[in-house]
Amino acid sequence: MAAKGNLPSFPPLNKDAAVDVTIVGGGAAGITTAYLLAIQGVKTALIEADILLGGTTGHTTAKISSQYAMIYDEILQNFGEINSSTVL
């Protein structure tokens, strides 16, 4: 697998691995799931056919953003609390 930015690269898996859970897909959902399982002590394998974080999760526009509060605040200011639920 090729490295992307500062992410490490790993050779192809060429032997069996004994794990409790295998996560298929190294997008945001796969990496998060693997991490949360691993910190709970679950022996986890994360496999990705191409590049970690190299595409969209499930072919969606899934993303991590810290700016939703600004967007929601603007919607509330422009449409009011009652009408905002219709917009969202």
pLDDT confidence of residue 88: 56
Domain extent, residue 69, equals 61-88
Question: CA-to-CA distance for 21 and 28, rounded, in angstroms?
Answer: 17
Same domain for 20 and 38, yes or no, is yes
Q: Which pLDDT score is estimated for 1?
A: 46
**pLDDT of 21 above 90:** yes
pLDDT of residue 77: 86
50 with 72, same domain: the answer is no
20 band by pLDDT with thresholds 50, 70 and 90: very high
**Structural domains counted in the chain:** 2
Q: Is the pTM of this model over 0.75?
A: no
Asked whether residue 1 falls in the same domain as residue 38, the answer is yes
Same domain, 47 and 68: no
